[in-house]
Each structure stands twice: as structure tokens, then as C-alpha cells.
Amino acid sequence: MKYSALRIQLTPERKRNLITLVVGLAISWALASLMACASPTKTGGATALYQQLGGVQGITAITDRTMDRVSTDPRTQRSFANVKMKALKESVATYVCKVADGPCVYEGETMRNSHADLGITGAEFDLMVEILRDEINRAKAPTGAKNELLKRLAPTRRDIVKRS
Ligand code: HEM
């Protein structure tokens, strides 16, 4: 078969259609690439935990509500009597953001040092975790993200709880 027999004869209109199709595909590809860049940060193929929790804003909303509730609940409020709540809320939000691999720089005390003189009980700690779980649910974060954050915070129990 001769080469010329393989050539597809295109009318000017078909040529235009073909060019439109190729240009369209190129634009779609470029847009898709741009959107991929703008999408949440990926870590090892999975969306970073802090992004799943709503980023810095989402985490701050969750921890602010948690601290509001823990500091006013009759079962836990005693520890917060003389504490400047605005600064504490900022510190807790930054800490949790950092634990969730967020871009926050936590410069506060260790969990052991900051809770050393508070005599926090196991029941108080567990209540705070329950409230945190409830606030993550309210924020409609994915179940996997909620469980992962709580799993990462769980080891702090042994540094924070001083009484059974
Ligand atoms: C997962 C559990 C908890 C986390 C992640 C956490 C986190 C923190 C952080 C980041 C700070 C600030 C440290 C600093 O800025 O140097 C802090 C301080 C504090 N936490 Fe917790 N905390 C937890 C549990 C609790 C519980 C259960 C209570 C009491 C019921 C509590 C009461 C306090 C108080 C009163 C302070 C302020 C201490 C002070 O200013 O002297 N925390 N916590």
C-alpha cells in the first residue's frame, strides 16, 4: 500500500474541527494541571491531615469550641479559673495544627510541663477528648481524620494525667 493511500483527506471544515479539538484538549489539560496544584497538600498520596480537618481555620474553630466547653463544664472548669483563655486557645490551636502536620510553629511548653501542677484526672482528660471528638463531628471532618488526630493525641494522656 502506498503512503499516499494512508493520508486522510480533510476538508477545510474538518481541519478547523480537528484544530478546535486539539486546542480544547490542551486547554483542559492545562486547567487540570493548575487545579491539581491548587488542591490540598498531599502527603504520601493522601491529603494532609490538617487539610482534612479544615486547615488552620477549621482546626482553630474545633479547638476554640472545645476549650470554651471544657473551661465552662462543671466537671472540668476548676483548672481554668485563673487562665487567660485567649492565649490558651491560640496555643492549643497551634499545638493541634502542628500535631496534624500543619504549617504551624508551636513554641509553647511540653504537655508534661504545661499540665504539671494542674493535677488533672483521667476522667477530666477523657471528657476533654470526648468534647473534642464531638466538635470534630460537628465540623463534619472525615471519620478517618478524626480518628487519626485522636490517635495522635492519645499518648499525651500519660504526660497530662496526674491523678486517677
Ligand atoms: C488532648 C488533651 C490536651 C491537649 C492537647 C492540651 C494542650 C494544651 C496546650 C497546648 C497548652 C498550652 C501550653 C503552653 O502554651 O505552653 C495547655 C495548657 C493548659 N491545659 Fe491542656 N491540653 C489537654 C488536656 C487538658 C485537660 C484535660 C485540661 C483540664 C481539664 C487541660 C487544662 C489546661 C490548662 C488549665 C492549661 C493552662 C496552664 C497554664 O496556663 O498554666 N488541658 N494544654
**Least confident span in 37-41, 71-75, 111-115:** 37-41
Which atom of ligand 1 lies nearest, measured to the CA of 127? 27
Domain extents for the chain? 10-39, 46-163
Q: Does 1.10.490.10 match the CATH number of domain 46-163?
A: yes
Pocket of ligand 1 contains residue 127 by CB under 6 Å: no
Is the CB of 125 within 6 Å of ligand 1? Answer: yes
Which pLDDT does position 28 carry in this prediction? 78
Is the CB–ligand 1 distance for residue 71 below 6 Å? Answer: no
What's the average model confidence in pLDDT over 61-74?
Answer: 98
- Lowest-pLDDT range of 17-21, 83-87, 106-110: 17-21
Distance (Å, whole) CA 163 – CA 22: 70
- Mean of per-residue pLDDT scores for the chain: 89
Instruction: Indicate the Cα dihedral angle 110, 148, 98, 77, nearest 10°.
Output: -50
pLDDT, mean of residues 132-138: 98
Q: What are the angstrom distances between the C-alpha of 102 and each of 24, 99, 118?
A: 37, 7, 28
* Over residues 68-86, mean pLDDT: 98
Please indicate whether residue 60, judged by its CB atom, sits closer than 6 Å to ligand 1: no
pLDDT in the model for residue 32: 66
Dump pLDDT digits (tens) for 23-47: 878 877 776 665 554 555 555 556 8
The reported pLDDT for the residue numbered 39 is 54
